[in-house]
Structure 1
Amino acid sequence: MNAKITLNAPLAVSTDPVTGNTTEYHSIEDFATGCIDERNLKVKPESYICSKLPSYNCEECTALPYVNREQLDKIVGYAITGIAKKYDTEQTPHKEIDSQKVSFLIGEAGVFASNTNNKYMSYVLGTDNIDLFVKLAKAGESVVLHNDIDEAYQIINNGMPESVFRLIAGKSAPQHNSDLFVQLDDSFKELTKAGIKKLFLEKVNQLKQSIDQDLFEQPQAHEWEEPQPLHVASQYVEGEYPIHAFPDVIAKAIKKSAHFHNVPLAVAAQTYLGEQAYIAQRHIKAPSDKSEKGQPCSLFMLTIFPSGEGKDVCKSDASKISEKIESENMQQFRADYNSWSKKKSDERGDAPVNPMSRFKKTTTQAIIRMMADGAGNSYIWATGEGGYLFSGYSLKSDTVGESISVLNDLVDTGKGNALLRNAEDSHYFENKYFSLDIAVQDVVARPALTNSLLREQGFLARVLFAAPTPLQHREVTLEQQSIKPYDDEDLKAYWKFCEKMLTTPYFGNKLFVGDDGRVIITKCQDAERLHIQYQNHIGQEVGKGGKYEFIRAYALRTNQYVLRVAAILAYCSEVDYIDARIMQNAIDLCKYSLDEWLRYYGKAEKSDSELMLEWLKKQDSSKILKSAISTTVYPKHLRSKNNRDAALNHLIDAEHIHIEQIGKKEYVVLNPLFSKVG
């Protein structure tokens, strides 16, 4: 994997000449994600990364990865070579006006290598030919390049475990290790990816058979570690919701909604916080420890609560003003559109732009289209019928990976870049922020919340979560029946506050304004100290035996998510910065969410990885053919490739299983120590 080398000064900077937006990359991992097509060893489109020619696009330049010679699975840099081009962006389409040869380094130099971080590789190649190296790398082969082929062998011999077979390939025979050399000629250029894999698998088997068995060192056995728990102990009780975290006008409204509709405070508070994120994200950004440009203050609220118990009416209370304005805007849009459509084509001009910004029943593709073409810069998917998300098209097995990636990007960055059905159905936008406020029944959500794929891809780690216990039935009286929420003074005060923030928002001192016009909320020094203490607390508790070990990814995500919550609390408190009190309130809200995850996962239901492990243990052999799982595992939903691989990857990370390649087949091997963990 890429080495997470993070520096104060960025490794690379890319400034889009059209928008003026600058992206800083402070680690090789982030740089590779943003700028490198690792499969094809090319620079991605719109990458202005040459420091000497910052206005030149390095798209399609060759990008060869450097790895640490002592740790061949750690990428430390990239060598970029090729032709960088400059365009006249005033013309449409943009016209190329200059080109320059470029050759520069991002990160650190090391040894050229590709695919050497594949934990399941059965062999690795060394070569001295750059063309062969590129061909092999693009075919997915694990390969190391050095201009001396004998030195290339020494590098892979010293840098790879004994379980990986090591051989060298090229056009000219080496001085040493000729018994491990594969001679290649010009016909190799014509081989497909599958043909290359077939060639080397056959060569490896031939070489193994030709070597004296007494001298041939067998692969070392996997060094097992103590297996980690897959299920959190059921020891957490429901905590008190930190209602004190909210400004007084919002806290009073939350309490009244919860009282009128007889729901726990958490049910009402979750949707009120989601609504404030929707209001705030159009005007502000949260601070970020990773970028001086800040980060979106968008949130993903998820509440587990039974149907018909009051979650929908709480949403109506929280979003009454937003929905009223939305309704008025949509009525005006329909009237304008009808008037526009009745005009002659040569008199029409531009069509009215759809102002819709709130979604209830939708899909990720529909959201992308609406955000790309819509008039607003703040959007929310808010619904008390979470089945639209968890049981709808977006999270079906054949679309789940794509949908997760899209939703993650929208919440994290406010950017969209999608090619949907064809080239005409492509959409790009940025600086349009997106939040989710989903309430759903447990029976609908639990299959997703225990799904290893959703947990592995970080989808659930972004959630501020609550799953409170419903309150007991409250006897209805004539007096209570006569009290109407719409007449309550606290709710009226809240609605008046929302109307002010939506129509004449508070912008503070405007000292820190981002490129998109949003105010960047900052932290005072006392708030910074609290944030540092929180990060250290989380770092300790996600370690072995720590409180958050089981939900490590979720806990670590809150290190930056807490800044989003704090920025929203500062904004709706109408103050200019995050002080210590606001930071502590944001921390309390994030800790409540983490504790709710622990309590939820501590219930009896089992995750996909637990179900997979149970099935594996019931098999007659300690080695199970991986491909057979797809036809025989039970429950049947684990037969899906996505679900199967996600569950297996979780078990590998937790040291319950290991994948062993024997010939051309992969086998799942159980940890002989698994019986020590319940």
Structure 2
Amino acid sequence: MLDYDHPKELITPDAILNECAQLVSFNDAYSSHPLIQRFGSPEQPIYVDNGSEAKPLIMPIYNGQLEHIQSAVLIDGEMVELTIDGENTDRGLAKGFARYGDFDHAKPVIITYGLEAFFKIAQTGYAVALVILPTLCSNHKTELKPYDFEQIQFVINQLSQAGYKQLYLPVKIEQIHLEPFKALEQNTAVRLLCQYLRVGVNQFEFGLSQDESVSEVLAFIDEAIELLSKPTEWGELLPLSQSETVLNPYPIHALPPLAQEAVRAISEHVQSPIAMTAQCVIGAMSHIAQAKVNAPHPFIAHGEPCSLFLLTEGQSGSRKSTSRNLADQAIIRYERKQYEAYRQELEQWKSGQAGLPKKDREAYCAENPPPNDPSTLYSDITLESIAGLFIDGVLNNASIASDEAGQFFGGHTMKADTRNQALGGYAKLFDDGFVERTRSKSNLNGSGRAYDVRLTFNLQGQHEVLAEALKDPVLRGQGFLPRFILTIPENLAGTRLQDAIYRNKNASTDHRLIAYWTRCEYLLDDCPQVKADHELHNGRYVLPMNDEAREIDVAFYNMFEELQGKGKRYEYLQAFASRASQLARRLATVFAYFEGLQWIDAKTLKGACEVVKHSLNEWAMYADIEVKAESDAEKLIKWIAKKCNDQKTDRIAYSNVQTSCPRPMQKNKNLLEMVVEQLIDSNHIKIESIGRTRYVVIHPCLVK
């Protein structure tokens, strides 16, 4: 047995090891050692003092130059003892670290403070250093104490000063946010590796225990180091001031997959902006869905219309008509078949009364009313006319789709004394599916009401024509324009060049459009009704929201309610912002019906919210309000830059931003996320994830 307290001849650490038994992994004595059984095997030789009844494991301790300067005496369940100058033992602080593997200055070194992780990482082939804490073998594990972190920092600095530049410390997910660990990363050369493993699109947390496979641990270390080492590419900083042009790309990803592909296909074939074709496709989906389903309403059991009002600004020659025709092609074909059948019925009706005396003809017409024109798509029709069709029962569902919106806003109805009445009529159609027409006593036959009718608007027009109407306080204040989802696409004029490849393309054979048209045709026919929780209401059923979608709906409503407050972004756009939640629910209903969903899920509602946010940003361009106050985005980036510069780093934890950033973002999660998105879009920051931990990384030019 080694006499650690009185070794007369053993005066060096190497001499102590020479008196120990060296065991290798295939020895029975190796696998049966208490520490190996408890903490796993490093698959490397170990030193054991067989002369002692406890058979302690003797672990060499090295300094930064990898000189063997000390030994640690490890007994299962007891505190670690250390040799001092080879002459006795003490429970003080180690002068170095234990190690396995090939320590190369050009390669990573993994640092750990637990035996189980130390042994497991040793099996991967990575160089691994163990911080010798007194509690390594204790039976009762406690949280790390301040002096433990001091010892960890001592080892990190020891290796750093010896020239090791790639130092990594694995930590558990719940630990990476703790201040002592963050301080290690900020004050030393070490980088934290959050313990997770990604397999495909999934991520798994694990604890570097002896039960983990070597391949998983190796994959974790490889991937985590690769993420930290990956260079970040930055674009040019874009202005944040609200007076500057703000990028507001159309969220094409928000649409159902079939619709997305149709939008891209139409844009390619027509050479029109994505935003314009997206609005056309949404208009077609709204036209189809409004006849079959209702959107959920917080206070009305049978819901509300899912009909949408869409408005697209586009220059002359921006291919508005062609885009809309391709988007509506299935509806146009369907209506053509319906119209042909109508013409045949009309001819039969005319033939049936041909040659009849006047009295018999009147009786025939009374018993056999003429068939109704089945057309539901209109490009130029007044409220008076369409109301008559609804009241007479000729129509239940219709769309006004025109690329000459200027004619609509500048027409007689919108300029005459009846404008306010017309606006109110369109508003009632939108909100309740209700229309009413009251004529003079001399023409009472034209009066009446119609319930549960639907109208979709899909208007397109030039900026010069629309600008005046879009800024009209009556059109805005009465709530007509706030019901519209607006987009202002980029002008592609000058970029729509055609080559041989383009000219060989054929929209009618494009598989993306064929799939989209096929889906539209199926929904236009009497397709099987999707089972829903609610009964049919005049032929329509409500598409409900699931629990997750309801939570998103409430958060979306609250976000835009707060943003209408004094000094907030939509203070002067209250009529528009107050309808954000309603429009999102309607749009989500249209998306869900098109996809054949039985309810509105979180993904579908989130997508609809993105489109509505895009629309509100477009409306803000017409607000004509000069906001001189510092924007939330400017406040946040200044705060992030100061934090990074104070801490001499290029990143801070996203959780730190959430809890400490300037108000009102600190108290409003949704507002913060929107501002963060703006900073990302303008290249001021990036979000990087290490495992499940997110970091805000600032543009290099903003760091001193």
> Which band: TM-score by shorter chain?
0.5 to 0.7
Structure 1 residue aligned with 2:537 = 515
**What is the rounded CA distance, in whole Å, between the counterparts of 2:471 and 2:242 in structure 1?**
15
Structure 1 residue aligned with 2:439 = 420
Q: Which runs of 5+ in 1 are unaligned?
A: 1-231, 605-678
Structure 1 residue aligned with 2:690 = none
Structure 1 residue aligned with 2:629 = none
Amino acid at match of 1:353: N
2:364 paired with 1:347: yes
Residues 285 and 521, structure 1, Cα contact 8 Å, conserved in 2: yes
Instruction: Give the C-alpha shift of residue 234 in structure 1.
Output: 3.0
Q: Percent identity?
A: 28
Residues 235 and 599, structure 1, Cα contact 8 Å, conserved in 2: no
1:498 alignment partner, SS class = helix
Structure 1 residue aligned with 2:497 = 475
**What is the rounded CA distance, in whole Å, between the counterparts of 2:447 and 2:347 in structure 1?**
26
1:523 alignment partner, SS class = coil
**What is the rounded CA distance, in whole Å, between the counterparts of 1:420 and 1:459 in structure 2?**
23
Residues 312 and 511 (structure 1), Cα distance of their counterparts in 2 relative to 1, 3 Å cut: same
- Picking from 581, 590, 594, the partner of 2:616 is 594
- Picking from 523, 537, 543, the partner of 2:565 is 543
Structure 1 residue aligned with 2:284 = 275
Alignment of 1:617-636 (within 5 A): none
Structure 1 residue aligned with 2:387 = 368
Alignment of 1:322-341 (within 5 A): 322-341=331-350
**What is the rounded CA distance, in whole Å, between the counterparts of 1:266 and 1:287 in structure 2?**
26
1:292 alignment partner, SS class = coil
**What is the rounded CA distance, in whole Å, between the counterparts of 1:404 and 1:431 in structure 2?**
19
Instruction: Give the C-alpha shift of residue 602 in structure 1.
Output: 4.8
Instruction: Give the C-alpha shift of residue 233 in structure 1.
Output: 5.4
2:427 paired with 1:400: no
1:490 alignment partner, SS class = helix
Structure 2 residue aligned with 1:80 = none
Residues 253 and 417 (structure 1), Cα distance of their counterparts in 2 relative to 1, 3 Å cut: same
Residues 304 and 468, structure 1, Cα contact 8 Å, conserved in 2: yes
Instruction: Give the C-alpha shift of residue 511 in structure 1.
Output: 2.4
**What is the rounded CA distance, in whole Å, between the counterparts of 2:262 and 2:613 in structure 1?**
23
**What is the rounded CA distance, in whole Å, between the counterparts of 2:547 and 2:301 in structure 1?**
16
Structure 2 residue aligned with 1:356 = 375
Structure 1 residue aligned with 2:482 = 461
Amino acid at match of 1:584: K
Instruction: Give the C-alpha shift of residue 527 in structure 1.
Output: 0.7
**What is the rounded CA distance, in whole Å, between the counterparts of 2:412 and 2:266 in structure 1?**
32
Instruction: Give the C-alpha shift of residue 481 in structure 1.
Output: 1.6
Amino acid at match of 1:351: P
Structure 1 residue aligned with 2:294 = 285
- Picking from 427, 431, 435, the partner of 2:456 is 435
Residues 257 and 506 (structure 1), Cα distance of their counterparts in 2 relative to 1, 3 Å cut: farther
Structure 1 residue aligned with 2:305 = 296
Instruction: Give the C-alpha shift of residue 485 in structure 1.
Output: 1.3
Alignment of 1:12-411 (within 5 A): 234-342=243-351, 343=353, 344=356, 345=361, 346-348=363-365, 349-411=368-430
**What is the rounded CA distance, in whole Å, between the counterparts of 1:401 and 1:283 in structure 2?**
30
Structure 1 residue aligned with 2:598 = 576
**What is the rounded CA distance, in whole Å, between the counterparts of 1:463 and 1:309 in structure 2?**
21
**What is the rounded CA distance, in whole Å, between the counterparts of 1:483 and 1:407 in structure 2?**
41
Amino acid at match of 1:260: H
Residues 413 and 422, structure 2, Cα contact 8 Å, conserved in 1: yes
Structure 1 residue aligned with 2:84 = none
Residues 250 and 299 (structure 1), Cα distance of their counterparts in 2 relative to 1, 3 Å cut: same
Amino acid at match of 2:533: L
Residues 360 and 381, structure 1, Cα contact 8 Å, conserved in 2: yes
**What is the rounded CA distance, in whole Å, between the counterparts of 2:512 and 2:503 in structure 1?**
18
Amino acid at match of 1:341: K
Supply the RMSD in Å over aligned alpha carbons.
Answer: 1.9
| TM-score of the two chains, using structure 2 as the length reference | 0.51
**What is the rounded CA distance, in whole Å, between the counterparts of 2:418 and 2:315 in structure 1?**
27
**What is the rounded CA distance, in whole Å, between the counterparts of 2:249 and 2:550 in structure 1?**
26
Residues 408 and 414, structure 2, Cα contact 8 Å, conserved in 1: yes
Instruction: Give the C-alpha shift of residue 477 in structure 1.
Output: 1.5
Instruction: Give the C-alpha shift of residue 341 in structure 1.
Output: 3.1
Structure 2 residue aligned with 1:211 = none
Residues 234 and 599, structure 1, Cα contact 8 Å, conserved in 2: no
Amino acid at match of 1:284: V
Amino acid at match of 2:431: D
**What is the rounded CA distance, in whole Å, between the counterparts of 1:542 and 1:506 in structure 2?**
43
Structure 2 residue aligned with 1:20 = none
**What is the rounded CA distance, in whole Å, between the counterparts of 1:503 and 1:269 in structure 2?**
23
**What is the rounded CA distance, in whole Å, between the counterparts of 1:561 and 1:479 in structure 2?**
40
**What is the rounded CA distance, in whole Å, between the counterparts of 2:308 and 2:558 in structure 1?**
23
1:334 alignment partner, SS class = helix
Instruction: Give the C-alpha shift of residue 598 in structure 1.
Output: 1.1
What CA deviation, in whole Å up to 9, does each residue of 1:466-507 have, x standing for no partner?
112212422221321221211211111111111111114353
Q: Which runs of 5+ in 2 are unaligned?
A: 1-240, 627-704
Amino acid at match of 2:404: E
What CA deviation, in whole Å up to 9, does each residue of 1:32-84 have, x standing for no partner?
xxxxxxxxxxxxxxxxxxxxxxxxxxxxxxxxxxxxxxxxxxxxxxxxxxxxx
What CA deviation, in whole Å up to 9, does each residue of 1:604-653 have, x standing for no partner?
9xxxxxxxxxxxxxxxxxxxxxxxxxxxxxxxxxxxxxxxxxxxxxxxxx
1:395 alignment partner, SS class = helix
Instruction: Give the C-alpha shift of residue 450 in structure 1.
Output: 1.1
**What is the rounded CA distance, in whole Å, between the counterparts of 1:469 and 1:397 in structure 2?**
34
Residues 313 and 506 (structure 1), Cα distance of their counterparts in 2 relative to 1, 3 Å cut: farther
Instruction: Give the C-alpha shift of residue 238 in structure 1.
Output: 3.1
Amino acid at match of 1:432: V
Structure 2 residue aligned with 1:619 = none
Q: 4+ residue runs of structure 1 moved beyond 4 angstroms? A: none
Residues 362 and 388, structure 1, Cα contact 8 Å, conserved in 2: no
| TM-score of the two chains, using structure 1 as the length reference | 0.53
Residues 557 and 487 (structure 1), Cα distance of their counterparts in 2 relative to 1, 3 Å cut: same
Residues 234 and 602, structure 1, Cα contact 8 Å, conserved in 2: no
**What is the rounded CA distance, in whole Å, between the counterparts of 2:408 and 2:390 in structure 1?**
18
Amino acid at match of 2:454: Y
Amino acid at match of 1:372: I
Residues 250 and 614, structure 2, Cα contact 8 Å, conserved in 1: yes
Residues 237 and 599, structure 1, Cα contact 8 Å, conserved in 2: no
What CA deviation, in whole Å up to 9, does each residue of 1:261-292 have, x standing for no partner?
22221100011111101100111000001212
Instruction: Give the C-alpha shift of residue 374 in structure 1.
Output: 4.2
Amino acid at match of 1:539: E
Residues 261 and 310, structure 1, Cα contact 8 Å, conserved in 2: yes
Residues 388 and 437, structure 2, Cα contact 8 Å, conserved in 1: no
2:401 alignment partner, SS class = strand
Amino acid at match of 1:571: Y
Residues 565 and 431 (structure 1), Cα distance of their counterparts in 2 relative to 1, 3 Å cut: same
Structure 1 residue aligned with 2:630 = none
What CA deviation, in whole Å up to 9, does each residue of 1:565-607 have, x standing for no partner?
1111111111100111111111111101001111243599xxx
Q: How many residues align?
A: 373
Amino acid at match of 1:601: A
Residues 470 and 622, structure 2, Cα contact 8 Å, conserved in 1: no
